[in-house]
């Protein structure tokens, strides 16, 4: 069992984001250990791009994630998307040279009470309709002016917000958020960072001064309806295992816990070394796709902690040791999208990618 991380594909996806927003800077999001791919390795790969193509900044959710990147030798600026969690973290923000998002009054007060050796770059987060983090629109201008009036504390001010429905075909609520932020930005003369992965892929009007590609960097299509750009994404993670045993079943014989799946005909079943103990979702239904020796097959029965079963009836060449790809790119080039697998688990690609557990080794590949 292994997760193969294609760093060339990661770089391809980042360069795609840049090409879609040529007048914007692209903030590469590496939170949640680069969505399960390994933040330090991914950051190093992106820092290895030619100077004019590499990210001007990375983004993480917490100071611990930022510290892990710095300890890994990453020198690129890092934005703390959720800001500090307590005032005492400001000293670490300064020592690590981080850029700071502020979304709450207590964070602003903590910053204005702190005495940094040099001002800290600040991104003011506004709640334009997601109703998660950020200052209400009617308060944002006052906070902006307070930060502007304290240049010894805050520098390089930006506005940021997060779209709730940029991935959806219905654009009404997206348009409401977008227009609210454009109006605020114009009133304040403030550079904007709005576009997440779906907006980077499908909403060019929202690109602003910065885009912040996240899940698209890892080859997952976040759009409700794929477009030409999202179809160019390359899978970065391949979750790969192999068949460790086979079983011949008569028609009607059950497979797995509870006997949920029963052979509809005389069948041959393969046992695969992968289960929810590796992070593969236990909610996968019968018929969830896999690639066996580069050919499509399906899961039969409930996923166990360390194993799952697949149908080999129409794959006579499959045997013990045959490669099984749970998502990603098979040895022969066939691709199984993590998004397709996620739909069969009634979840999203984010949970599958970030859910691959530590016992699965990551092996990094690049040309």
Is 118 designated active site? no
* Alpha-carbon torsion, ordered 221, 223, 227, 229, to 10 deg: -50
pLDDT score, position 161 = 98
| Statement: residue 142 has pLDDT above 90 | yes
Who contacts 172 (Cβ-Cβ below 8 Å, separation ≥6)?
none
CATH code for the structural domain at 7-220: 3.20.20.10
The mean pLDDT value of the chain amounts to 97
312 — pLDDT class (breaks 50, 70, 90): very high
pLDDT score, position 237 = 98
CA within 13 Å, CB half, 359: 11
- 147-191 tens-digit pLDDT: 999 999 999 999 999 999 999 999 999 999 999 999 999 999 999
pLDDT score, position 111 = 98
241 — pLDDT class (breaks 50, 70, 90): very high
- The active-site residue, picked from 35, 118, 257, 364, is 257
C-alpha 68/C-alpha 83 separation (Å) is: 16
Q: Where along the chain do its domains lie? A: 7-220, 237-365
* Cβ-contact 147, 124 below 8 angstroms: yes
- 177-233 tens-digit pLDDT: 999 999 999 999 999 999 999 999 999 999 999 999 999 999 999 999 999 999 999
| Statement: residue 367 has pLDDT above 90 | no
Cα distances (angstroms) measured from residue 176 to each of 119, 126, 143, 190, 252: 34, 14, 22, 19, 55
Tell me whether strands 267-272 and 237-249 are parallel, antiparallel or unpaired. Answer: antiparallel
C-alpha 219/C-alpha 34 separation (Å) is: 12
pLDDT score, position 17 = 98
* Cβ-contact 65, 95 below 8 angstroms: no
- 21-49 tens-digit pLDDT: 999 999 999 999 999 999 999 999 999 99
pLDDT score, position 67 = 98
pLDDT score, position 174 = 96
- The active-site residue, picked from 14, 31, 218, 350, is 31
Options 1.20.1440.230, 2.40.37.10, 3.20.20.220, 1.20.120.80; which CATH number does 237-365 get?
2.40.37.10
Is 257 designated active site? yes
pLDDT score, position 220 = 98
* Strand positions, DSSP E, 65-191: 78-80, 99-102, 120-127, 135-136, 154-160
pTM strictly above 0.75? yes
pLDDT score, position 285 = 98
């Amino acid at each position: 069992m292994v997760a193969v991380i294609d760093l060339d594909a990661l770089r391809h996806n980042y360069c795609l984001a840049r090409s879609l927003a040529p007048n914007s800077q692209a903030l590469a999001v590496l939170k949640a250990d680069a969505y399960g791919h390994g933040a330090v390795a991914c950051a190093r790969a992106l820092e290895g791009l030619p100077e004019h193509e590499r990210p001007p900044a990375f983004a993480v959710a917490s100071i611990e994630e930022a510290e892990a990147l710095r300890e890994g030798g990453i020198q690129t600026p890092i934005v703390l998307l959720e800001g500090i969690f307590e005032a005492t973290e400001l000293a670490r923000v300064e020592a690590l040279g981080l850029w700071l998002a502020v979304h709450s009054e207590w964070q602003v007060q903590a910053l204005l009470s702190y005495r940094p050796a040099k001002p800290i770059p600040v991104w003011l987060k506004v709640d334009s309709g997601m109703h998660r983090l950020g200052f209400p629109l009617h308060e944002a201008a006052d906070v902006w002016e307070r930060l502007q009036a304290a240049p010894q504390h805050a520098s390089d001010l930006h506005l940021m917000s997060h779209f709730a429905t940029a991935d959806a075909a219905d654009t009404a609520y997206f348009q409401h958020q977008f227009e609210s932020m454009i109006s605020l930005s114009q009133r304040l003369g403030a550079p904007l960072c709005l576009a997440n992965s779906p907006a980077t892929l499908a909403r060019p009007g929202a690109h602003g001064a910065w885009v912040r590609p996240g899940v698209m960097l890892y080859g997952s299509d976040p759009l409700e309806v794929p477009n030409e750009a999202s179809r160019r994404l390359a899978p970065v993670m391949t979750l790969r295992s192999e068949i460790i045993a086979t079983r011949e079943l008569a028609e009607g014989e059950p497979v797995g816990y509870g006997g949920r799946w029963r052979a509809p005909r005389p069948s041959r079943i393969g046992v695969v070394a992968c289960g929810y103990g590796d992070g593969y979702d236990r909610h996968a239904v019968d018929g969830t796709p896999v690639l066996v020796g580069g050919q499509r097959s399906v899961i039969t029965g409930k996923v166990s902690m360390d194993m799952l079963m697949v149908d080999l009836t129409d794959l006579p060449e499959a045997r013990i040791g045959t490669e099984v790809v749970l998502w990603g790119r098979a040895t022969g080039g066939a691709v199984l999208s993590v998004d397709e697998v996620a739909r069969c688990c009634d979840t999203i690609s984010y949970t599958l990618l970030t859910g691959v557990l530590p016992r699965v080794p990551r092996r990094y590949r690049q040309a």
